[in-house]
Structure 1
Amino acid sequence: MKPVIRLFFKTVRVVVGPFVLLGDCLTRPKGIVRPEAEQQAIDARTQHLALYYFPTCPFCLKTRRTIRRLSLKIELRDAQHSTAHRDALLAGGGKPQVPCLQATDAQGLPTWLYDSNAVTAYLNREFGDSPAA
């Protein structure tokens, strides 16, 4: 029974996935325009961030849209199609759940932040155009 369920969901992903990506492409938000010096400072802060994602996962799309809206340069790591990224996510974070934001501190220690709401809240708090409440 388990293989039948997996086949069903794989078929759904194959059929619905292109439509999800098209919808995202057509409704993609515009990024914040910042002064050059401010954008460079933010780019320097995002150098140690990486987002593990699946291309058609709705929660990952939500997170990637926030990254685009905030004009952040965060490394995107496709954990669905890249075995190396999937293995790194599993080894570092402990579970193959996406989206997952890996933030590396000044000492080189990674922090793994799961859940799209937690990731978008972190990004809005750290890089948002309005001060945190």
Structure 2
Amino acid sequence: MFVIRWVLGRIILLLNFIFAPKKAQHSAELQAKLDDLTKLLQLYQFAACPFCVKVRREIRRQGLNIKLVDAKLADNRQVLETQGGKVKVPCLRIEEGKKVTWLYESDEINRYFNDLVLSAK
């Protein structure tokens, strides 16, 4: 089973590389505003996870600068489990002041990004 997952993961990464979406081109002012809105966001993810790829494609499509955190590393996995409540990816860590929210579903994360871009315009 490990071999099958590994092969499928590499196929997903290859196809994502070949068919990568075009990065959005924003005005300097809008990009600065988006960078300010996203500076405290972190995406906990696995490189070959299809749902993580879906979210990373949306990040690229929207032209966002989001910090990617590899959840396979023990320290990051520990943070995801203790603070987020479960080891499940993709997971978006949203820090707003002293409040931290963890968003787990890829569709919800992509909807959050869409709303973020719309609010910045």
1:113 is aligned to 103
- Distance between the aligned counterparts of 1:32 and 1:128, measured in 2? 13
- Distance between the aligned counterparts of 1:75 and 1:13, measured in 2? 26
Provide the aligned C-alpha RMSD in A: 1.7
1:126 is aligned to 116
Tell whether the 8 Å contact from 1:70 to 1:128 is kept in structure 2 after alignment. no
SS in 1 for 2:25: coil
2:25 is aligned to 33
Task: Give aligned-pair identity as a percent.
Answer: 38
- Distance between the aligned counterparts of 1:110 and 1:83, measured in 2? 21
1:58 and 2:56 are equivalent in the alignment: no
1:103 and 2:94 are equivalent in the alignment: yes
2:34 is aligned to 42
Q: 1:24-48: per-residue Cα shift (whole Å, max 9, x none)?
A: 0011101111111110111011001
Choose the corresponding residue for 2:9, options 17, 20, 31: 17
Q: Which consecutive unaligned segments of at least 5 residues does structure 2 have?
A: none
Higher alpha-carbon Rg = 1
In structure 1, give the amino acid aligned to 2:4: V
1:93 and 2:84 are equivalent in the alignment: yes
Q: Which consecutive unaligned segments of at least 5 residues does structure 1 have?
A: 1-7
SS in 2 for 1:65: helix
In structure 1, give the amino acid aligned to 2:53: L
Q: Give the TM-score of the pair, scaled to structure 1.
A: 0.85
Higher relative contact order (CA 8 A, sep 6+): 2
Q: 1:7-33: per-residue Cα shift (whole Å, max 9, x none)?
A: x2x221222221111100011101111
Alpha-carbon deviation of 1:128? 4.5
> Alpha carbons of 1:27 and 1:63: their partners in 2 closer, same or farther (altered >3 Å)?
same
In structure 1, give the amino acid aligned to 2:40: H
> What is the number of residues matched between the two proteins?
121
SS in 2 for 1:28: coil
Any runs of at least 4 consecutive aligned residues in structure 1 with deviations exceeding 6 A, and if so which?
A: none
